[in-house]
């Protein structure tokens, strides 16, 4: 059984081991290849039966060029880089890792909010630059300090990650509203389910924790922003395509949206002409919510289990049944 890892570096820059995959077949690991569709991808897969990918796309053209391919294992939860429906017609299973990052992604989302509220890094930098020791007052701050206690957080998408964020926010004394087409008892324990318009109208902070579906694409747009409170804060570490980026940039520059904390953008790596790069009060990090070593180890372990289950004829975590 030949296994090829197409873009292994972000999953394992050297602090994890590929030995578990090596035990399952003839393994080749490539640190990185093209993140856009190209003939190079099919050439790299070659005659392998199993392709393991994180963000390298596997399209219809690539699938048609790889006649031995039987399984595509995604080193992530999101699988929109795979033409999974076409893979199904070719009898190729696509499996993902659905639950590895629940805690760290929720933690990271709240961390983006806390940085916006208190500007920790900025003030630490000024201290190291000597400003505090030369200050005429015993303290100083360069931005408004925002207390979250008693404010309202709106969570769009109250799945596992949304619930994690909601629990943290609730523990800080925030009122938590949630919008989700699927309601659960677990969700009702940490948030009040409301319709989208009420969430947009009442929230001081809005978190995006929903998957990217046709009905959620561009959910943060000028019309929905117009329904929000003035000075709202928006946090997105789910999918960049949930946001119409020019609309958000315009709202940031006008002050309608006070600040945004983003770990994702519509095209990654970010392009130089992305309007959010020049928008006011826009914190952007390079899609690293998931990257804690503990979470990456879970990705590795679950991917190994996914492949073992497939080889045993009892596939799990299949997204294109």
In-domain check, residue 77: yes
The CA-atom distances, in angstroms, between 19 and each of 95, 109, 147 are 20, 32, 47
- 19 CB-contact burial (10 Å; exposed 0-12 / middle 13-18 / buried 19+): exposed
Same domain assignment for residues 34 and 126: no
Among 269, 321, 292, residue whose Cα is nearest residue 93 = 321
Residue 11 tokens read as 């999953």
In-domain check, residue 317: no
d(CA 234, CA 259): 7
Residue 236 tokens read as 């997105």
Same domain assignment for residues 26 and 173: no
What is the three-class DSSP state of 123?
Answer: helix
Same domain assignment for residues 129 and 35: no
Spatial strand order of the sheet with 175-179 comes to 192-193, 175-179, 152-156, 205-208, 232-236, 257-262, 282-284
In-domain check, residue 9: yes
Same domain assignment for residues 74 and 184: no
- Domain of 45 in residue numbering reads as 2-100+293-311
Same domain assignment for residues 257 and 136: yes
- What does the DSSP 8-state code read for residue 82? B
Q: Is 209 a catalytic residue?
A: no
Q: Is 268 a catalytic residue?
A: yes
Same domain assignment for residues 193 and 165: yes
Same domain assignment for residues 121 and 235: yes
Same domain assignment for residues 186 and 270: yes
Which residues, including other chains, have CB under 8 Å from residue 5's CB and lie 6 or more apart? Answer: 18, 21, 27, 28, 29, 30, 52, 53, 75
Q: Among the options 122, 147, 268, 293, which is catalytic?
A: 268
Same domain assignment for residues 260 and 117: yes
In-domain check, residue 321: no
Residue 154 tokens read as 């709106």
pTM of the predicted model as reported, rounded to 2 decimal places: 0.92
Are 116 and 93 contacting, i.e. CB atoms less than 8 angstroms apart? no
> How do the pLDDT tens digits run along the chain, 321 residues long?
999 999 999 999 999 999 999 999 999 999 998 778 889 999 999 999 999 999 999 999 999 999 999 999 999 988 989 999 999 999 999 999 998 999 999 999 999 999 999 999 999 999 999 999 999 999 999 999 999 999 999 999 999 999 999 999 999 999 999 999 999 999 999 999 999 999 999 999 999 999 999 999 999 999 999 999 999 999 999 999 999 999 999 999 999 999 999 999 999 999 999 999 999 999 999 999 999 999 999 999 999 999 999 999 999 999 999
Q: Give me the phi and psi of 20, to 5 degrees please.
A: -60, -35
In-domain check, residue 216: yes
Q: Among the options 119, 209, 287, 298, which is catalytic?
A: 287
d(CA 185, CA 195): 17
Q: Is 215 a catalytic residue?
A: no
In-domain check, residue 240: yes
**What CATH number did the domain enclosing 13 receive?**
3.40.50.720
Among 245, 231, 228, 227, residue whose Cα is nearest residue 284 = 245
d(CA 95, CA 92): 10
Beta bridge partners of 284: 262
Same domain assignment for residues 12 and 68: yes
Are 4 and 45 contacting, i.e. CB atoms less than 8 angstroms apart? yes
Q: Helices (H) and strands (E) in the chain — how many of each?
A: 12, 12
- Tally of domains within the chain: 2
Same domain assignment for residues 80 and 154: no
Strand (E) or helix (H) holding 155: strand 152-156
Q: Among the options 119, 239, 296, 298, which is catalytic?
A: 239
Same domain assignment for residues 39 and 96: yes
């Amino acid at each position: 059984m030949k296994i090829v890892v197409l873009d292994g570096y972000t999953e394992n820059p050297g602090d994890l081991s590929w030995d578990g995959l090596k035990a399952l077949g003839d393994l080749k690991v490539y640190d990185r290849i093209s993140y856009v569709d190209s003939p190079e991808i099919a050439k790299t897969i070659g005659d392998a039966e199993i392709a393991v990918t994180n963000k390298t796309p596997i399209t219809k053209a690539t699938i048609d060029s790889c006649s031995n391919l039987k399984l595509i294992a995604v080193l992530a939860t999101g699988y929109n880089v795979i033409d999974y429906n076409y893979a199904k017609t070719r009898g190729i299973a696509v499996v993902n890792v659905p639950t590895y990052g629940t805690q760290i992604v929720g933690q990271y989302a709240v961390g983006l909010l806390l940085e916006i509220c208190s500007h920790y890094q900025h003030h630490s930098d000024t201290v190291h630059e000597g400003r505090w020791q030369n200050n005429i007052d015993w303290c100083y701050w360069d931005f408004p300090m925002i207390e979250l206690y008693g404010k309202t957080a709106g969570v769009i998408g109250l799945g596992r990650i949304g619930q994690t964020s909601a629990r943290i926010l609730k523990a800080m004394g925030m009122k938590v509203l949630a919008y989700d087409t699927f309601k659960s008892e677990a969700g009702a324990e940490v948030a009040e389910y409301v319709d989208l318009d009420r969430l947009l109208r009442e929230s001081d902070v809005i978190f995006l924790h929903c998957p990217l579906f046709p009905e959620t694409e561009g959910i943060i747009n000028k019309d929905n922003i117009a329904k929000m409170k003035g000075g709202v804060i928006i946090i997105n570490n789910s999918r960049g395509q949930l946001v119409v980026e020019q609309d958000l940039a315009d709202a940031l520059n006008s002050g309608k949206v006070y600040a945004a904390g983003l770990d994702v953008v519509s095209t990654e790596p970010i392009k130089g002409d992305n309007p959010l790069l020049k928008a006011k009060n826009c914190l952007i990090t390079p899609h690293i919510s998931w990257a804690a070593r503990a979470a990456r180890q879970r990705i590795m372990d679950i991917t190994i289990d996914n492949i073992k289950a497939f080889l045993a004829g009892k596939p799990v975590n299949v997204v294109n049944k």
